[in-house]
Amino acid sequence: MKLLGLILTIVSLLSAFEYGLKPVKVNDKVYCFFGKAEVMDTKNNGNMVNSCFVNTGKSWLVIDSGPTYLYAKEAYSSMNKIKKMPVSHVINTHTHDDHWLGNGYYKSIGATILGSFEFSNLSNDNSPRMQLRISPKVYALTVPTLPTFLISKDEKLRLDSMDVQILHVNYKAHTNSDLLVYIPQIKTIFCGDLIFNDRIPSMRDGDVSGWIKILQHVKEMKLTTVVGGHGDITDSTSADIILGYLTELKAKVQTALKDELEIDEAIDNIKMKKYKNLALFEMMHRQNVEVTFRMLEWENE
């Protein structure tokens, strides 16, 4: 009986939690859940990332499965109220855990999951950051589940009546595992964390030059709908804030290197106050200057 009591308590705790996810219609075929401009914590429980659904005709294509099993389950259940269809495919835009820890749920309902070959190099030693930073009650059913198909070049899919192109970025940009999902029929591209438009990005795993290069390519494609991994601007201007930030950051760090500033001086001097109203500026900007300084210093040697 004790065991039954324990099971009932766990079930009631699990069923009590809801993220309160609300899908936003982006265009005729696309809905997204937009996360908060925050870092993961026990209040947002990982709802600080975007997850999108594309209606391919008879099924949904999911771009990024979100931070937990419960998140993915709730998102799909809410999409089923819009149109009841199976999820045929999930594409993970890169290896950061807020974008793919929902995979376990989608695998359990039969979806095929695709992601970069770099997933095979993820270490099994560490618990995901998500597990350490959000409520254990919300994380509970999440089992890190890697993509079933790993990609190391551009790929084309035909899903129902829709052509879907996966563009594999073969240099480091936001990470070394970035994929973009391009759907010509609806002039739409999903860029994962190559685009943040409501908060300062983290340069931790990135390369400023590669990141600028791929964003310039996206701008040249002149698309109608451009969706990022964080932030809810989805029109053709979606990449402008981050492209502006990265371009200025790179130029300022290059000048500091030319002027032979020490790294601490560069961090103190490169303020870029124009971006100070973006969320997480205080937390991330100095660190971004430092990472960029070390990277460009190394490239110059």
| C-beta closer to Zn ion: residue 74 or 98 | 98
Contact region with Zn ion (CB under 5 A), list: 48-56, 89-97, 100-108, 216-224: 89-97
The Cβ of residue 247 has, within 10 Å, a number of other Cβ atoms equal to: 15
Strand partners, 170: none
Q: Measured from the CB atom, is 49 or 162 closer to Zn ion?
A: 49
Contact between residue 39 and residue 134 where contact means Cβ atoms under 8 Å apart:
no
State how far the Cα of 50 lies from the Cα of 34, in Å rounded to an integer.
5
Q: What are phi and psi of 173, to 5 degrees?
A: -130, -95
CB of 194 to Zn ion, least distance (A): 9
| Stretch binding Zn ion (CB under 5 A), from 42-50, 100-108, 180-188, 190-198 | 190-198
Choose the stretch contacting Zn ion; rule: CB under 5 A; options: 49-57, 122-130, 146-154, 186-194.
186-194
Name the segment binding Zn ion (CB under 5 A); options: 16-24, 135-143, 176-184, 187-195.
Answer: 187-195
- How far apart are CB 174 and Zn ion at their closest, in Å? 6
Identify which of residues 59 and 231 has a Cβ nearer to Zn ion in the complex: 231
Reported residue count of the chain is 301
Contacts of 189 (CB under 8 A, 6+ apart): 180, 181, 182, 183, 218, 221, 223, 225, 226, 227
Pairing of strands 30-33, 24-25: antiparallel
- If the CB atoms of residues 96 and 107 are measured against Zn ion, the closer one turns out to be 96
Cβ(45)–Cβ(135) below 8 Å: yes
In the complex, minimum distance from the CB of residue 113 to Zn ion, in angstroms, rounded to a whole number: 17
Instruction: In whole angstroms, give the CA distance from residue 298 to residue 239.
Output: 27
Contacting Zn ion within 193-212 (CB under 5 A): 193
Kindly tell me which of 193 and 198 has the beta carbon lying closer to Zn ion.
193
Smallest separation, CB 36 to Zn ion (Å): 15
CB 177 within 8 A of CB 116: yes
* Nearer residue to Zn ion within complex by CB, 89 or 96: 96
Give the chain's end-to-end CA distance (angstroms, integer). 69
Give the contact letters, 27-66, x = binds to Zn ion (CB under 5 A), - = no.
----------------------------------------
Out of 29, 73, 89, 96, point to the residue binding Zn ion (CB under 5 A).
96
Q: Which residues bind Zn ion (CB under 5 A)?
A: 96, 193
